[in-house]
Amino acid sequence: MIEVKQASKKIIAEANIILFDKVTSIPASMLGSNIKNKLKGIELKKPLSYFDGTTLFFYQLCNDSKDWKNREQLRKNAALAVSTMKSQNLTQVKICDYCGVSAAVKAYCEGIILGSYSFTKYKTDKKVKNSNEFAVYLSSKKIKSAELKEWNILWEAVYKSRDLVNEPNSYLTAPKLSEEFVKMGKEAGFQVEVWNETKIKAQKMGGILGVNSGSMMPPTFNIMEYKPKGAKNKKPIVLVGKGVVYDTGGMSLKPTANSMDYMKCDMAGSAVVAGILYAAAKSKLPLHIIGLVPATDNRPGEEAIVPGDIITMYSGNTVEVKNTDAEGRLILADALHYAKKLNPELVIDFATLTGAAVRAIGSYASAIMGTASDKVFNAVENKGYETFERVIRFPLWDEYGDELKSDIADFSNLGKGEGGQMSAGKFLEKFTDYPWLHLDIAGTAFMHSSADYRPAGGTGVGVRLIFEYLKTLI
């Protein structure tokens, strides 16, 4: 994990990044010859680079950094600087803060750290494997050590979330995912209880068992809890994550190209939940938070459920399975019903749930819907712009529920293709009786090619968004 360390006066870096609001704020020692005049016309979108023969300098204007678009531009520019430095094999950079705006400094550091990420676990070339070795120092009178520590913890949580999503199913089975949760809990300070297949059967969690019926690997149900002394909330915030570690579509088999070949990412919702808990616990947020992750793969094995089958859910409701590739909602439904026992203040679930959400809004935002108050929706939406993990609200009208009617069961697991993200949300709503948000992250959780500080593969979307939202509850 790359982190930002506070710079001592002794640090002489290979590259210096100068963040400034006006040219006069930059000390003469940080100004190369003929640079001062060039900086007078600099724009936020067009940083200036300069090499003095020994050191590479980047000059980045940070005015009007309270605007969310400008903060995102800073992240992008920082990722571009990372690319430049790595192309020149530089391993050390110092960020010099002469603007004094915390939001701007954080955004730029964020772009540096998140833009430096790469998943090299399975690379055998040592140079490639060590490409993450990058020292970043911050020299700032404004940013205190406690604030910097929290930033680093949050970015570390994003790294861990990305790592989980990038792991292949050959490693990350449902039981292995549970082991990773236990490891993260020990590191950060939250408790993890793992239910095995025997316990899941005893609890009659038919959604999880139905999806798992074609698999050679057993399912797990994971309960993660962070409950600090003096928690501000009397009732817990519950986070639920879809943990389908690999999705073939089951008997409703997916095509391979641009579909099944990326389905190791179908557990991204579970990675979000673990990442948020990791950040919250390690930062010692005074909030009681519980994470629930039903985990399994979805395969067309000998005993797999088939279209037309009826399963009995943990809630006792019967569901006609019209499509076995609509499996995420089946395992989430069991977890959402279990959440009723916890008497939650709010439940937020995360899932790579529908292609319909991707078709509606692409990869530029996550779909959000639910029964929480407008105050909660607005707060999450605002943090979405602040972190640039934007959300777009969709309705849960009764008509979407009508699409789920079944002649032979309480309801089916499939609505129409049009507006499918809403009918999927309406299915989940049937298992809730509390304030609830559903985030469909199908378009944002995994990138097929890199874009700025978002690498190809897992993005860790949702971790920064909800962590910053949770801080508003303190």
Q: For the chain, what is the HEC assignment?
A: CCCEEECCCCCCCCEEEEEECCHHHCCHHHCCCCHHHHHCCCECCECEEEECCCCEEEEEECCCCCCHHHHHHHHHHHHHHHHHHHHCCCCEEEEEEECCCHHHHHHHHHHHHHHCCCCCCCCCCHHHHCCCCCEEEEECCCCCHHHHHHHHHHHHHHHHHHHHHHCCCCCCCHHHHHHHHHHHHHHHCCEEEEECHHHHHHCCCHHHHHHHCCCCCCCEEEEEEECCCCCCCCCCEEEEECEEEEECCCCCCCCCCCCHHHHHHHHHHHHHHHHHHHHHHHCCCCCCEEEEEEEEEECCCCCCCCCCCEEECCCCCEEECCCCCCCHHHHHHHHHHHHHHHCCCEEEEEECCCHHHHHHHCCCCEEEEECCCHHHHHHHHHHHHHHCCCEEECCCCHHHHHCCCCCCCCEECCCCCCCHHHHHHHHHHCCCCCCEEEEECCCCCEECCCECCECCEECCCCHHHHHHHHHCCC
Active site residue 454: no
Q: Specify the length of the chain in residues.
A: 474
230: left (phi over 0), alpha (psi -120 to 50) or beta: left
How high is the pLDDT of residue 122?
A: 96
Kindly name the residue from 94, 160, 329, 390 that is annotated as catalytic.
Answer: 329
Whole-number Å distance between alpha carbons of 239 and 161: 15
The yes-or-no verdict on residue 64 having pLDDT over 90 is no
In whole angstroms, how far apart are CA 85 and each of 14, 39, 327, 401? 9, 21, 44, 53
How high is the pLDDT of residue 33?
A: 65
The whole-angstrom distance between residue 348's C-alpha and the CA centroid of its chain comes to 13
Helix (H/G/I), strand (E/B), else coil: 207: helix
How high is the pLDDT of residue 53?
A: 83
Residue 63 pairs in a beta bridge with none
Whole-number Å distance between alpha carbons of 13 and 381: 39
The yes-or-no verdict on residue 70 having pLDDT over 90 is yes
Tell me the longest C-alpha to C-alpha distance in the chain.
80
CA angle 165, 168, 172 (to 5 degrees): 80
Whole-number Å distance between alpha carbons of 272 and 280: 12
How high is the pLDDT of residue 40?
A: 84
The yes-or-no verdict on residue 66 having pLDDT over 80 is no
- Whether 4 contacts 109, CB under 8 Å: yes
Q: Give me the mean pLDDT over the 109-138 stretch.
A: 89
Mean pLDDT of the chain: 95
20-48 per-position pLDDT tens digit? 999 989 998 888 667 888 898 899 999 99
How high is the pLDDT of residue 330?
A: 98
The percentage of residues in the chain with a pLDDT greater than 90, rounded to a whole number, is 88
- Whether 21 contacts 100, CB under 8 Å: yes
Active site residue 299: no
The whole-angstrom distance between residue 71's C-alpha and the CA centroid of its chain comes to 19
How high is the pLDDT of residue 452?
A: 94
Annotate 206-216 with b (16+ C-beta within 10 A) or e (fewer). bbbbbbbbbbe
Pairing of β 191-195 and β 220-226: antiparallel
Task: Please report the domains of the chain, with CATH numbers, ordered by start residue.
Answer: 4-143 (3.40.220.10), 155-471 (3.40.630.10)
The yes-or-no verdict on residue 130 having pLDDT over 80 is no
How high is the pLDDT of residue 54?
A: 86
| φ, ψ at 60 (rounded to 5°) | -125, 115
The yes-or-no verdict on residue 319 having pLDDT over 70 is yes
How high is the pLDDT of residue 124?
A: 92
CA angle 309, 313, 307 (to 5 degrees): 20
The percentage of residues in the chain with a pLDDT greater than 70, rounded to a whole number, is 99
Q: How confident is the model at residue 8 (pLDDT cuts 50, 70, 90)?
A: confident
Q: Give me the mean pLDDT over the 400-422 stretch.
A: 97
How high is the pLDDT of residue 7?
A: 94
In whole angstroms, how far apart are CA 242 and each of 167, 239, 272, 346? 16, 10, 9, 17
- Whether 391 contacts 439, CB under 8 Å: yes
The yes-or-no verdict on residue 63 having pLDDT over 80 is no
Whole-number Å distance between alpha carbons of 307 and 159: 38
Paired tokens of 307: 């279209």
How high is the pLDDT of residue 37?
A: 85
Q: What global pTM score does this model have?
A: 0.97
91-108 per-position pLDDT tens digit? 899 999 999 899 999 999
110: left (phi over 0), alpha (psi -120 to 50) or beta: alpha
Residue found under tokens 């800073």 = 74
How high is the pLDDT of residue 65?
A: 67
215-237 per-position pLDDT tens digit? 999 999 999 999 999 999 999 99
324-374 per-position pLDDT tens digit? 999 999 999 999 999 999 999 999 999 999 999 999 999 999 999 999 999
How high is the pLDDT of residue 389?
A: 98
Pairing of β 135-139 and β 56-61: unpaired
How high is the pLDDT of residue 34?
A: 76
